[in-house]
């Protein structure tokens, strides 16, 4: 069984994009007011006095779009400076990155994942909803690269008939720059219609396509996460595949997820077992009581992981991926 030492922290439940696969148009979204978000100080207390003592050392800030949170720089600095932090990363759509990269660097951040589902501005616009924002995202990626963020990972959710024809072009980004492309199998979470219309593509098929074109060898360094990582011969970066649809890696799951409004969730595909940390924290309970609640959840997690593995998570799902944080 995996050691559970990785916490994904959603710092804000809203987003400036509306990606079709994450936050479909017409999805019934209900947002708690920002006063319900865990504050910087509450996050600091929970991390340093509940999670780190339980062995958590790897943290990722996500959203919604985490760069929308006004105090993202301060939260990043708190976690980067916390004794016990061994790894800190942010997942972002990159739209505000050019403006915020320097503050994040100064706060101590070195690792970024940026979503980039298409190199075609029009496809990108259709996928992410709203206006043409590809250029600004690309600029954000270039600024982060120039600043030295590494490893710099680009996340691609592959949707048949939408962006699958760009797999080679996206993989090619790893050849001349030390960028790490992560192809993610499209998951049926809160997007019933799109998933029913489009379905998903097996990572094995994408790997075959890339192998056929350039060859593909196992990367020398494998990450700590669920990606299977490869390298196009001679490339500076890597291509990885996150295959949660075609493979079951629930037994290797090393993470919990904390939502912006303070709910701790043991499994992405499963709503049972969640606990509310914010309400007792605001009521002033002792932090060692909260620590025990989380310790109990860690014990329960392996059994919870498998519960909805087969059925997926369409229908009756209260939170979208944007609210959970991916």
Residues in touch with ligand SF4 (CB under 6 A): 15, 17-19, 22-23, 63-65, 93, 115, 321-322
DSSP string, 241-291: EE-TTTS--GGG--EEEE-TTSEEESBTTB-TT-EE-HHHHHHT--HHHHH
**Of ligand SF4, ligand SAM, none, which one sits near residue 23, judging by CB under 5 to 8 A according to partner kind?**
ligand SF4
Pick from 20, 76, 85, 93: which binds ligand SAM (CB under 6 A)?
93
Site membership for ligand SAM, residue 313 (CB under 6 A) = no
Cβ-proximal residues to 201 (8 Å cutoff; 6+ apart), any chain: 158, 159, 160, 164, 185, 186
Using a 10 angstrom Cβ sphere, with 0-12 exposed, 13-18 middle and 19 or more buried, the burial of residue 122 is exposed
Closest approach of ligand SF4 to the CB of residue 288, in Å: 34
Pick from 9, 15, 144, 167: which binds ligand SAM (CB under 6 A)?
15
**How far is it, in rounded angstroms, from Cα 277 to Cα 297?**
12
Site membership for ligand SAM, residue 187 (CB under 6 A) = yes
Closest approach of ligand SAM to the CB of residue 288, in Å: 32
Output 116 or 281, the one with its CB closest to ligand SF4: 116
Q: What residue number has its CB nearest to ligand SAM?
A: 326
Binding mask 112-151 for ligand SAM (x = CB under 6 A): ---x------------------------------------
Using a 10 angstrom Cβ sphere, with 0-12 exposed, 13-18 middle and 19 or more buried, the burial of residue 229 is middle
Is residue 145 within 8 Å of residue 97, measured between CB atoms?
no
Cβ-proximal residues to 105 (8 Å cutoff; 6+ apart), any chain: 147, 148, 149
What residue ranges bind ligand SAM (CB under 6 A)? 15, 21-22, 62-63, 65, 91-93, 115, 155, 157, 184, 186-187, 189, 191, 321-322, 325-326
């Amino acid at each position: 069984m995996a050691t559970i030492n990785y916490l994904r922290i959603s710092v804000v439940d809203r987003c400036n994009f509306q990606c079709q696969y994450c936050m479909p148009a017409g999805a019934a979204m209900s947002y708690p007011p920002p006063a319900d978000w865990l504050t910087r100080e509450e996050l600091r207390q929970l991390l340093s006095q509940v999670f780190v003592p339980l062995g958590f050392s790897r943290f990722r800030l996500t959203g919604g779009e985490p760069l929308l949170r006004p105090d993202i720089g301060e939260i990043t600095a708190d976690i980067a400076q916390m004794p016990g932090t061994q790894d800190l990363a942010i997942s972002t759509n990159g739209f505000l990155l050019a403006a915020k990269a320097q503050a994040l660097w100064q706060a101590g951040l070195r690792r970024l994942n940026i979503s980039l589902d298409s190199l075609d501005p029009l496809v990108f616009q259709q996928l992410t909803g709203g206006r043409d924002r590809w250029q600004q995202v690309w600029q954000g990626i270039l600024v982060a690269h120039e600043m030295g963020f590494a490893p710099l990972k680009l996340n691609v959710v592959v949707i048949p008939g939408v962006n699958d024809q760009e797999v080679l072009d996206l993989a090619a980004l790893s050849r001349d720059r030390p960028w790490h492309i992560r192809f993610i199998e499209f998951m049926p979470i809160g997007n019933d219609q799109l998933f029913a219309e489009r379905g998903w593509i097996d990572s094995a098929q994408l790997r075959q396509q890339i192998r056929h074109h350039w060859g593909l060898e196992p990367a020398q360094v494998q990450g700590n996460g669920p990606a299977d990582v490869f390298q196009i011969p001679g490339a500076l970066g890597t291509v990885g595949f996150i295959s949660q649809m075609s493979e079951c890696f629930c037994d290797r799951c090393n993470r919990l997820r904390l939502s912006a409004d303070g709910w701790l969730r043991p499994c992405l595909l499963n709503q049972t077992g969640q606990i509310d940390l914010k309400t007792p924290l605001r009521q002033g309970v002792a932090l060692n009581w909260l620590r025990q609640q989380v310790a109990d959840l860690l014990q329960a997690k392996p059994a919870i992981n498998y519960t909805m593995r087969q059925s997926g998570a369409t229908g009756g799902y209260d939170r979208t991926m944007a609210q959970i944080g991916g």
